[in-house]
Amino acid sequence: MTITHCPYCALQCAMRLERGPEGRPAVRPAPFPTNRGGLCRKGWTAAEVLTVPDRLTRPLLRKDRDSDPVETDWDTALDHVAERLMALRAVAGPDSVAVFGGGGLTNEKAYTLGKFARLALATSQIDYNGRFCMSSAAAAGNRAFGLDRGMPFPLTDVAEADVVLLAGANPAETMPPMMGHLSSPALIVIDPRRSATAEAALDRGGLHLAPRPGTDTALALGLLHAARVQGRCDEEYLAERTTGFDAAWEHAAAWWPERTERVTGVPAADIRAAADLLGRAARDHAAYILTGRGTEQHSKGTDTVSAWINLALALGLPGRRGSGYGCITGQGNGQGGREHGQKADQLPGYRHIEDPEARDHVARVWGVEPDSLPGPGRSAFELLDALGTPDGPRALLLFGSNPVVSAPDSARVRARLDSLDLLVVADFVLSETAAMADVVLPVAQWAEERGTMTNLEGRILRRERATAPPDGVRTDLEVLSSLAARLGQPADRFPTDPDTVLAELGRASAGGAADYSGVTPERLADGQALYWPVRSPEESTPRLFLDSFAHPDGRARLVPVDHRPPAEETDPDHPLVATTGRLMGHYQSGAQSRRVAELDAAEPEAYVEVHPATAARVGLADGDTARVVSRRGHTLARVRLTPTARLDTVFLPFHFAGEQSANNLTHPALDPTSRMPEFKVSAVRLEPAPPDRNGRGVPEETGAPTPGGHG
């Protein structure tokens, strides 16, 4: 029996892995503050992913574009990759090779991936899928507080609140154990859908405000306007602990509730009621504002999160016990994954790659000259969109991500991947992206290796190895070490032992914002609650900002922001707004969860939630298959009539592939600060799907893909 942590979301629920029937691992819950002994459906079935029938155990190599991949040995696969990379770099320079990581990689892997890109490949072209997750909240948090840690307080604090406002978050489905911490507070839920979390709020006397997608900034401004008119702003706190309120108020002053209603569709009376409920709890230091993907995944997501932070600061919430602002991180290591160097502009410790002191510090740890480190590269979508272009990378090494399904405008991304000279994917199954690769490297999973993760509270925890990987499977650290040696790096520069990497990560992050220098395997094994920064063997920082914020003057910044329209508007050909989100039973691109029989049986295909009147106007009934069409592509989805839906909005889950992929529709417009794509607003139309060859209008199968070449 081994105590470890779930492979899915950033709650990182604790679990026990035991030997079940037929000797296979089985999951049992374990006590831990975030899940308190509970697990969601995904957690209960997590062990099944370890033994899926199509698990890869030998490298796959495609000899040429017209051939199928065939199994080969590790030396042949790695030699092939290294030779191709060296040839490309010799002709087109180091930036002809790119690296793409993931927010599910351990801290040790994320750190090593960034080091590998900048030393073994000398490329600036590295980013990761966390750019699609909470980059807007990170950017807004940095400019408001001087530091980004998703929740700057333990999740258990939230349970003591009187009121919690959730903007664009649906934890009842995406993080069910979190709802145990939200059972006592009254909830104000901001979501275009009547989600399970919104239902819970209404059942307990809370509020659900359903704005038109793309209007969250206006709603936050309207709530600030109402709060100030009601006398709910904490003037003493604003004077002592913040700057910038007057400039921020100049914009909010124009968003009285009736004007806000005209733009958002939220009744003015509900706006005033929400401001009053939140403001009364704030007066007693018993209120929290938490944001999630729904309010962040927009081409103006950073400004929208800033608007929610401005509301929190005006009410005096951040940096106080019993109240605060926080962002609900999505991916398992979404927090740690962006702190240690796999992001285009960062070095370990949340340092900026253009900071001379940061470059000097990290270079000393790595044993190289600071000038040898490349500068910042392209952000995630910009990197994917540059692949195969005249000035872009010609090769891509991909770890822990499936962008064919998860990136916006997926047909465009597939075309860019298809244009590469070399695509190398490390994965445990043949995901939709791996199916396009020239080389697929089979790697270990979460329970087959140890490493650290950083959960949504900034708490560093340890995943333990519970079982050995199948014969022939290597860890990501082993893969990177072997490749680095073939590319001419010293044999000891890329260690394969996670504890050795953690110690080096500690040295590299020392003195940075995300300082892990006091983290040791012994402290983690003892179960100590280590919240970064951990600057010494005795330190942990569960609550940030109690004394001051991280700006030089110790004050938080209110940033003036205003509403602006989404990147595209509806028109007669595309009269509806499509928005996307998660389901309880699936995770991210579905590469894991669609392979678990129980989860797949519960939600086997894509669907579209639509109001009955909206469906009737185009001749669709419940259970029909709709063709959802945007200016970029189309999706096939089963119709679910939902009387609580907005008449102008449809919802699709994004876990499915092929013609069922919601990201066939989504817009690649980017936030100017965070470079977050516009996932949550696409102008679409609905129409009945044409029948297939059997005469039925049904979506394609979305099971495991079959191998297919770039062409």
pLDDT tens across 387-434, in order?
999 999 999 999 999 999 999 999 999 999 999 999 999 999 999 999
Distance CA 585, CA 681 (A): 23
Matching fold, domains 60-132+333-490 and 576-688: no
Question: Which of 641, 591, 593 shows the shortest CA–CA distance to 613?
Answer: 641
Distance CA 134, CA 333 (A): 12
Residue 440 and residue 428 in contact, taking contact as beta carbons nearer than 8 Å: no
Tokens 């070399």 sit at which residue? 422
3: buried, middle or exposed (CB in 10 Å: 19+, 13-18, 0-12)? middle
CATH 1.10.287.610 fits 576-688, yes or no: no
- From the options 1.20.58.710, 3.60.21.10, 3.40.50.300, 2.20.25.90, give the CATH code of 2-51: 2.20.25.90
Own/partner pairs, 51-55, CB within 8 angstroms, 24+ separation: 51/24, 51/25, 52/429, 52/595, 52/596, 54/429, 54/430, 54/595, 54/704, 55/428, 55/429, 55/442, 55/470
What integer pLDDT is reported at residue 400 of this predicted model?
93
- Topology of domain 60-132+333-490 in CATH is Rossmann fold (3.40.50)
What integer pLDDT is reported at residue 24 of this predicted model?
82
For residue 268, how far is the Cα from the chain centroid?
33
Q: Enumerate residue ranges in the chain where pLDDT < 50.
A: 693-711
What integer pLDDT is reported at residue 527 of this predicted model?
84
Residue 288, number of CB atoms within 10 A of its CB = 28
- From the options 3.40.228.10, 3.40.440.10, 2.10.109.10, 3.20.20.140, give the CATH code of 135-328: 3.40.228.10
Domain-wise residue ranges, the chain: 2-51, 60-132+333-490, 135-328, 576-688
For residue range 206-242, what is the model confidence (pLDDT) as tens digits? 999 999 999 999 999 999 999 999 999 999 999 999 9
Question: Which of 563, 454, 447 shows the shortest CA–CA distance to 514?
Answer: 454
Residue 86 makes CB contacts below 8 A (sequence gap 6+) with 487
Distance CA 706, CA 416 (A): 20
For residue range 291-301, what is the model confidence (pLDDT) as tens digits? 999 999 999 99
Distance CA 42, CA 566 (A): 33
> In 3-state terms, what secondary structure has residue 285?
coil
Question: Which of 23, 67, 545, 496 shows the shortest CA–CA distance to 313?
Answer: 545
Distance CA 658, CA 74 (A): 30
Question: Which of 422, 421, 440 shows the shortest CA–CA distance to 431?
Answer: 440
Question: Which of 703, 436, 447, 706 shows the shortest CA–CA distance to 595?
Answer: 703
Cis ω before 677 (30° cut-off from 0): no
